[in-house]
Amino acid sequence: MRAAELVETVMARGACGRPNDAPLPDEWFRDDESDAEWADHAERLKAFCREVCPVMAECRELALRQGEGRSREDDVVRGGLSGFELLDLRVQDATRLRAEAAKDRSQLVEWRRYMAAAAAVHAAGAVITRPSAERSARARRQREAAVRRLQEVRQERRARARWTVAQQDDHGQADEALRRAREADRRETAGAGGGR
Ligand code: SF4
C-alpha cells in the first residue's frame, strides 16, 4: 500500500480516532513522566492498539515510513509500538523502507503530473467555449493535445499500478475534465452547424 492509502486507511478506521472510547490525542505522547510511569502508560496504549484497532498493521507501517521513533527519547506510541520499538524496527527493516519511500515519492510525482494534465484539459476546454475563441483551430488543437497528454499519463499509470476501484475514484476529476471537453466539442459542432 502506498503512503497516501495508508494515511487514508488509518484516518478512516484507526481506533484512536473514535471520539468516545479512545485515549485523547495528547495521551499518545509521553508527558512529564518517569521512565517507569511512561512504561506503564505506553503498555496501556499498546494494549489498546492490539485489542481494539482494526488497522494496526497499516498504522505501524505508516509510522515506520514517516520515520517515527527517536533514539534520544521514547515518547510516543503508534501502531501498537513505543517510539524505541519503532526505531528498532526501522533499523531492522531499513532496506525495504527505503524502497517503499522511493515508490511513495514516485507516486507523488506521478500524481502531480496526472493532475497537471487533467487541469490542462480543463483549461483548454474553458478557452474553447468562450464565444470569441469558439472557432479557433489553435484552441481546438491545444485541447486535443491536452487530452492526448492526459491519456498518455493515465496509460502510464495504469501500466505501472494495479488497477483498482480506489484508483478509478482517483481518476474522477480527470474523467470530469474529459467529459467537459467532449461536451464543449458537441456544443461547438452544434453551434457551427446552426450558423451555416
Ligand atoms: S494502531 Fe493504535 S495508534 Fe494506530 S490507529 Fe490504531 S489505535 Fe491509533
pLDDT of 74-126, one tens digit each? 999 999 999 999 999 999 999 999 999 999 988 878 778 777 877 777 776 65
What pLDDT sits at residue 135?
59
Q: CB under 6 Å to ligand 1: residues?
A: 10, 14-16, 48-49, 53, 55-56, 59, 78-80
**What are the sequence ranges of the domains in the chain?**
3-92, 105-188
Query: What is the number of the ligand 1 atom nearest to the C-alpha of 79?
Result: 1
What pLDDT sits at residue 132?
59
What pLDDT sits at residue 178?
59
> What is the reported pTM?
0.62
Exposure string of 104-135, with b = 16+ CB inside 10 Å and e = fewer, is: beebeeeeebbbebbebbbebbebbbeeeebe
Task: Cell 517510539: give the residue.
Answer: 83
CA-closest residue to ligand 1 atom 4? 79
pLDDT of 114-172, one tens digit each? 778 777 777 766 555 555 555 567 777 777 777 777 777 767 766 655 554 444 444 55
> Residue 182 CB: number of other CB atoms within 10 A?
12
